């Protein structure tokens, strides 16, 4: 059995770490490189850097930050935000990232998934899906531009299409749970994981150790991503892994 991965997510705006609730109300949470170095010492399996306003603000990718982080932090690094073209993917990987996360650009140009997977390998292409539950139906819609635009696309249908096009992983974020610390959206994660045959990284809602345990026990999720509980040190990654191991979840200690 493959070990379940614990992935801290560093949301970045203007070169600083930020965190909000339901994608809004952002507050400053520190320096990204210093936080990344702490996570590596604590035993994180991977790290995600997401420039959460790059697309909606039409800003360039933060290559300098990627390069400085890659020179000081040596766990696998996924970078997202403002990546729109094959050249962007190439530049981000060349700057030191191991994977790219594409969201709005994948919706606007699904061929980017196909071309990226062919050129760089599926293992480099993470398709991020921001999902929000529909009020009147048991389904979820895909949002883009940092959660600002409802595409009207069904999450399950889009997950299947992204997989067919060559996504290596899906980063699935519940917008309803984001920053709430009320636990992962088990039903959403279960539905998507059962619909595709590639790894799922679940995101949105982690507040306690038991939330991670519930996620891994009740869904086929391969990894759990979290932000604020790690940033503000409510939970230490090493302690979390020991807890999961004690409850028979395979993790890398």
Number of Cα atoms under 13 Å in the Cβ half of residue 183: 11
Q: State the catalytic residues.
A: 11, 130
Residue environment code for 179-218, b if the CB has 16+ CB neighbours within 10 A, otherwise e: beeebbbbebbbbbbeebebbbbbbbbbbbbebbbebbee
């Amino acid at each position: 059995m493959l070990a379940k991965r614990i992935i801290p997510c560093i949301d970045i705006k203007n070169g600083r770490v930020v965190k909000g609730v339901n994608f809004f109300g952002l507050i400053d949470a520190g320096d990204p490189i210093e936080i990344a170095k702490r996570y590596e010492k604590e035993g994180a399996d991977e790290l995600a850097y997401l420039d959460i306003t790059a697309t909606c603000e039409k800003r360039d990718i933060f290559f300098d930050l990627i390069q400085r982080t890659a020179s000081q932090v040596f766990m696998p690094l996924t970078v997202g935000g403002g990546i729109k073209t094959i050249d962007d993917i190439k530049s981000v990987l060349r700057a030191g990232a191991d994977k790219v996360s594409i969201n709005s650009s994948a919706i606007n140009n699904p061929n980017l998934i196909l071309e990226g997977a062919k050129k760089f390998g599926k293992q480099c292409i993470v398709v991020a899906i921001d999902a929000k539950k529909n009020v009147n139906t048991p389904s979820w819609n895909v949002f883009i531009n940092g959660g600002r635009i409802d595409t009207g696309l069904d999450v399950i249908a889009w997950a299947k299409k992204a997989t067919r096009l060559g996504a290596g992983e899906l980063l699935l974020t519940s917008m309803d749970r984001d920053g709430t610390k009320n636990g992962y959206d088990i039903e959403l994660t279960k539905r998507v994981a059962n619909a595709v045959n590639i790894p799922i990284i679940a995101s949105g809602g982690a507040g306690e150790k038991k939330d991670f345990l519930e996620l891994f026990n009740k869904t086929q999720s391969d990894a759990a991503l979290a932000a604020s509980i790690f940033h503000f040190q409510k939970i230490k990654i090493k302690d979390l892994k020991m807890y999961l191991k004690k409850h028979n979840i395979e993790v890398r200690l």
